[in-house]
Amino acid sequence: MSIELMEDALKQKNTSFKKKIENFWYYYKTLVLIVFALLALAAMIIFLNSGKATSDLNISLTTAGALTEMDINFNEGLPGLIKDINGDGEANITISRQFITEDENDESTEAYLQTLEGQLAHKGATLFIADGITRDILLKKDAFCYLDEFFNIDEFGDRVMFRNEKPIAFSLKGSRVLKDMQFAYDDLYAFILFKRPEDANDPSSILEYENAVAVLSALMEQE
């Protein structure tokens, strides 16, 4: 076989392989994204339940657009606010990020929705912060504490969001802390995950809810 024929055969083989990859990604992209999201969620749950978690409060943050690491650095924005639960000498807040848009054809949105559902079901976070798009999704969920368990909601007026006449979310509009952090979003809402029966007498869970309430209290302070 001549060199020209060998080069042509190799080129056709490479083109064929590339075409197969493109076809696979075209037909299975959504499935692949969902699998990766579920694997990431499973890894997080295993890590959190392994007794080796370095975080003293887990926050789920869902917005339609991207935010920089500086925007979401709650450890710097709220220094010395929360308690050290795991005894490592540091009080750390961990943020998990989801990006959910109004575009139903956005293939990554379905994967992030699966991750969010997993966080709600398996306590992937205690404090949930979301923009207006995801707020409407979360308001339909029977998954959150009534905020009058922790706050005098009369102090917050129209910043209280209700589900079946029960206060389950706060609007963070006008938050002094978020302004100081130069947060890119103003249309944000906060929820505290419901307490599971096993949380009632677990010292770590009790402290984590205290940390969530402390952070939410700070976020509710106005400019």
Helix, strand, coil: what percent of the chain each, to 5?
50, 15, 35
Q: Could you state, in order of their start, the residue ranges of all structural domains in the chain?
A: 3-219
State which of 45-59, 171-185, 207-221 shows the largest mean pLDDT.
Answer: 207-221
What pLDDT, in 10s, does the model give residues 63-112? 988 776 666 788 888 888 999 988 888 888 999 888 888 876 777 888 88
What pLDDT, in 10s, does the model give residues 173-182? 999 998 888 8
Comparing CA positions, the residue from 174, 171, 186, 170 lying closest to residue 71 is 186
State which of 20-24, 34-38, 40-44, 201-205 shows the largest mean pLDDT.
Answer: 201-205
* Alpha carbon distance 223, 219 (integer Å): 10
Q: Which residue spans within the chain are E strands per DSSP?
A: 57-63, 93-99, 127-131, 160-163, 166-171, 188-192
Comparing CA positions, the residue from 82, 99, 100 lying closest to residue 91 is 82
Model-level pTM? 0.75
* Alpha carbon distance 154, 52 (integer Å): 39
* Alpha carbon distance 62, 71 (integer Å): 13
Per DSSP bridges, beta strands 188-192 and 93-99 are: unpaired
Q: Indicate the CATH number for domain 3-219.
A: 3.40.190
Amino acid at 184: A
* Alpha carbon distance 81, 76 (integer Å): 10
Say yes or no to pLDDT of 47 above 50: no
Backbone angles phi, psi at 46, to 5 degrees: -60, -40
* Alpha carbon distance 57, 48 (integer Å): 11
